[in-house]
Chains A and B, each alone.
Chain A
């Protein structure tokens, strides 16, 4: 890292920065599902739709409706033959008690993606599981099962995911189910043998941490297995969006993961703007970019601090937290809220960022950048810190890809995906905004530490870029589509990775929201911690945990 030198705007690579388009991925798994002539996404979509040529005017993900018996083969051919990845799955209520299952799959040229839908008749509501061929689908299927009463056929794991109590009916169905107060059983896997014992942790943790339960099986100090049980922060948030006017619901989007308020609000705003065709002034786009990058810097500074603290170096952590405070103070300077809450709204910003703050913001960004570079140099010189990070909590590329991981944690395992680069949105559409994506291949705590450090520095650089734009960076980004899609889609690279909002307004007036689905990056990344800790010692668990910094509330909603 070349601290000191004025490097904003320079093109020096950050770590092993990758600038190639498209995602770098592992070799395809063996169980390929062959679809004749399906090497090209356009051909695949045309074939799946039954043959007609595609309209070039279409935008956004290709929308495809498949019959129930084609669901599993269609998904697996997308994933295995076309190398698309499952970004999210969600359910929706349709007429007559039917349930629609929607899936967003990203990949292909410009990461445009495919929006797949399958209809489940009300009487049966049965869906064949995508497991074991697509491990990413497990949590989505468990959620579909408990929230919509969909029976997942041949699923290896049918336990509830977010609901701890029995409900009078699946809560997302039109009638809505209510909690009964009766706790539903949840079986943890057991490990038996000489010297094997269990360590239960949580839901109330020893610190200022969100609630969740960890069940370790340990022999000596070595972790044999970890199962995470979540749902302790479940608030039924998706249901709360329903019936609200789009402008009323921003606070809910900010409250998916409060520490990523700006990213949540931006993803939600993008989805609303997408489906309603709301234009966004270029200056507001640029300002959103500034706020998003400031939030990223503040957030990831906290991860850097946490990793340093969890090896026991309190003074270094304090230093990182000095810088973190600086970043939050800067967000407050621009938005009036330390977390940037209430700043981003559908259509732009709630109020313009004050132009007179520019000099102070520049000074803060430089202070954070220089302070972090100095701190990291200092930390690199401490073998007692670096030895703890190296080789700890390894997540291999194969595991990362199978789980569909996103964000800095994925990039530290060599899975280089970043929607700012792969699927540019809002402020990142302009060709002059070139995001240098940091990555490492080791997948250990050290790799995640280094990636996060590089991302703070890059966020400071990008924030300066957006600050410099000041005026119009690009024209209004909402196209003049002839027909609006049924669903709006907003995908934002949050500090933890890809944050996705898919929403559908009520028909025909589109005045209120009929269904909003939010997929926090932690929904994809949580299972990774179970792999990361295997073979590690219990005292290194906090380090693994902090280096992943998963959101409980984002998962549970």
Chain B
């Protein structure tokens, strides 16, 4: 009855829920009095596996879930309604009408879909996609011209981290990765989803990813939050205490751009750029599958999907509404 497919999942693989409710009983049922009605017991301990297949299998997503704004410049009239509706300036626009220059930054997006609701022309749509993590922040930004075509972005900048380093990370950590989570002033929304990686539904340990208590045991730091003034020093010390080689996973809009807090004098506006290999994970917060994808991307086990601000064609061009 529990877990497996999220309710109403689009790509449900599990057994029908009725089967799960007939899970074997726990010892507590045996203790219940004879007069008590039979009780549905706690199936997770003794019942079927509830761990989701992703990333080894397809993701199971709720019908409305995992929606990401996607902009089609071809039908964009450059009204600027999206930019006015956006609470975090993830969308900005210069000029109006056809020819206006629109900038969509997935690193600042909080995925509230206000832009989609505000768009009068249908140029902005909410598509189902969550594999948004990238190795370079530049890849998070789409630059479109209203009335123009997709893929007309200026060429992406070169990856600062060499292929040798990437391969070394992959070789060293693919089988076993120790992660130290650092909250650099987040709202604790990201912490819910990072914690979820240890729940049976996502169980990151099955992939060799485990969270450790000390930076000295860690291969990677998972940083959330906008890096506020009061956590700057602690973050730096944690980073210094982590042995080389190491890499960073920066999760959530706050860590990438400052998110809703970007204008505060009390925050740095995200994790400052460094020479360390990094993976940036958009989301507010990023869902657990998006975090798993980010780790696999860092380990070189999957290809980067979001390139130069553009979603894969099959996603962007799909008819999902």
Chain A residues packing against B (C-beta within 8 Å): 3-5, 163-165, 171, 176, 178-179, 203-204, 206-211, 231-237, 239-240, 248-252, 254-259, 261, 302, 315-316, 318-319, 321-326, 328-330, 332-339, 341-342, 350-351, 354, 357, 360-361, 363-364, 367, 370-371, 373-375, 377-378, 381, 551-554, 556
Contact = CB atoms under 8 A, between A and B. Distances in A.
Given A341-B111, A553-B187, 9 more contacts: A163-B230, A255-B189, A258-B188, A319-B45, A333-B63, A367-B40, A371-B1, A374-B26, A381-B31
Contact of B45 (A315, A361, A556): A315
B63 A235 contact: no
B179 to A, nearest CB: 10
B263 interface: yes
Nearest to A377: B28
A232 B266 CA distance: 11
A232 B234 contact: yes
30 contacts: A4-B40, A5-B37, A179-B266, A207-B211, A210-B191, A232-B228, A235-B266, A236-B265, A237-B264, A240-B260, A256-B187, A258-B189, A321-B196, A321-B198, A326-B2, A326-B3, A333-B8, A333-B64, A336-B62, A342-B113, A360-B7, A363-B17, A371-B2, A371-B44, A377-B32, A377-B39, A378-B26, A381-B28, A551-B188, A553-B187
B112 A251 contact: yes
Interface in B111-136: 111-114, 117
Interface string B212-239: 0111000000000110111100100110
Interface of B: 1-3, 6-8, 17, 26-29, 31-32, 36-45, 50, 62-65, 67, 87-88, 110-114, 117, 181-196, 198-201, 211, 213-215, 225-226, 228-231, 234, 237-238, 259-261, 263-267, 284-285, 287
Contacts of B185: 211, 232-235, 553, 556
Contacts of A210: 183, 186, 188, 191
B64 A336 contact: yes
Nearest to B86: A248
B187 A322 contact: no
A233 B64 contact: no
Nearest to B52: A325
> Which 5 residue pairs of A and B lie closest in terms of their CB atoms, listed nearest first?
A258-B189, A206-B213, A329-B6, A360-B7, A236-B266
Contact of A323 (B2, B113, B186): B2
B211 A208 contact: yes
Contacts of A254: 187, 189
A161 to B, nearest CB: 12
Given A252-B260, A322-B200, A329-B7, A339 B183 contact: no
Secondary structure dominating the interface of B: loop
Contacts of B43: 322, 371
A323 B45 CA distance: 12
A208 B181 contact: yes
A360 B261 CA distance: 36
A186 to B, nearest CB: 11
Nearest to A370: B40
A261 B198 CA distance: 22
A239 B88 CA distance: 15
A553 B252 CA distance: 15
A499 to B, nearest CB: 14
Contacts of B88: 251
B192 A259 contact: yes
A556 B112 CA distance: 24
B201 A322 contact: yes
A553 B260 CA distance: 14
A290 B78 CA distance: 38
A78 B235 CA distance: 45
A259 B213 CA distance: 22
A255 B261 contact: yes
B287 A338 contact: yes
Given A236-B264, A240-B263, A257-B188, A318 B200 contact: yes
B87 A251 contact: yes
A98 to B, nearest CB: 23
A354 B40 CA distance: 28
Contact of B285 (A258, A336, A350): A258
A147 B313 CA distance: 50
Contact of B2 (A231, A357, A367, A556): A367
Contacts of A163: 230
A516 to B, nearest CB: 13
B64 A235 contact: no
B193 A338 contact: yes
B45 A211 contact: no
Contacts of B7: 326, 329-330, 333, 357, 360-361, 363-364
B195 A325 contact: no
Contact of B39 (A4, A256, A336): A4
Contacts of A239: 264
Contacts of B266: 171, 179, 234-236
A374 B186 contact: no
Contacts of A337: 65, 111
B256 to A, nearest CB: 15
B228 A374 contact: no
Given A322-B44, A373-B39, A378-B26, A258 B192 contact: yes
Contacts of A208: 181, 183, 191, 194-195, 198, 211
Given A4-B39, A233-B231, A251-B87, A332 B64 contact: yes
Contact of B213 (A207, A357, A375, A551): A207
A324 to B, nearest CB: 7
Given A373-B39, A375-B42, A338 B65 contact: yes
A235 B234 contact: no
Contacts of B287: 338
B45 A324 contact: no
A377 B188 CA distance: 31
Given A235-B261, A354-B64, A371 B42 contact: yes
Contacts of B40: 3-4, 367, 370-371, 373-374
A367 B1 contact: yes
A214 to B, nearest CB: 14
Given A323-B2, A329-B62, A361-B7, A240 B264 contact: yes
Nearest to A375: B42
Contacts of B234: 203-204, 211, 232
B45 A235 contact: no
A179 B260 contact: no
A164 B230 contact: yes
Contacts of A248: 87
Nearest to A230: B230
Contacts of A321: 196, 198-201
Contacts of B42: 319, 371, 374-375, 378
A332 B200 contact: no
A179 B232 CA distance: 13
Contacts of A378: 26-28, 41-42
